[in-house]
């Protein structure tokens, strides 16, 4: 069945450094790839998404890249800040099908 693998499971960076989280999906028909951020004790919130007709999307310090041939997509956070510390989930879906989430990456940004 559909599967989304996410790496790494934990990531520690120094404030100001960049962080990269990678995901691989199995269903080549997937065409929508959102990223959600979940702070401790809070609900997941969408931070950025990309559709398969584009290869990259940026929003201030956050960017997502998509490689359809390799079936992987990545989240890039530049100039990390302590408030970026959270668990990040990637997900994939096709058409009106369900969202399949990765297992999450716990990002810690040390001041």
Q: Which listed residue (72, 80, 104, 107) binds other proteins by CB under 8 A?
A: 104
Q: Does 54 bind other proteins (CB under 8 A)?
A: no
Indicate the helix (H) or strand (E) that contains 67: strand 62-67
Gyration radius of the chain's alpha carbons: 13
Q: Does 28 bind other proteins (CB under 8 A)?
A: no
Q: Does 31 bind other proteins (CB under 8 A)?
A: yes
Q: Does 29 bind other proteins (CB under 8 A)?
A: no
Closest C-alpha among 59, 99, 51 to residue 76: 59
Can you tell me the distance from the alpha carbon of 103 to that of 61, in angstroms, rounded to the nearest whole number? 23
Bridge partners, residue 68, by sequence = none
Q: Of the two residues 58 and 81, which places its CB atom closer to other proteins in the complex? A: 58
Contact set with other proteins (CB under 8 A): 1, 6, 31-32, 34, 42-46, 49, 51, 89, 91, 93, 95-104
């Amino acid at each position: 069945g559909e599967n989304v693998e996410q790496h790494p499971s934990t990531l520690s960076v120094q404030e100001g450094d960049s962080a990269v989280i990678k995901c691989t999906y199995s269903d080549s028909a997937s065409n929508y790839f959102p990223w959600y951020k979940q702070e401790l004790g809070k609900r997941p919130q969408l931070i950025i998404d990309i559709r398969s007709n584009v290869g990259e999307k940026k929003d201030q310090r956050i960017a997502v890249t998509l490689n359809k041939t390799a079936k992987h997509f990545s989240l890039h956070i530049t100039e990390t800040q302590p408030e970026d510390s959270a668990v990040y989930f990637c997900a994939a879906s096709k058409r009106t099908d369900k969202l399949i989430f990765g297992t999450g990456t716990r990002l810690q940004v040390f001041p």
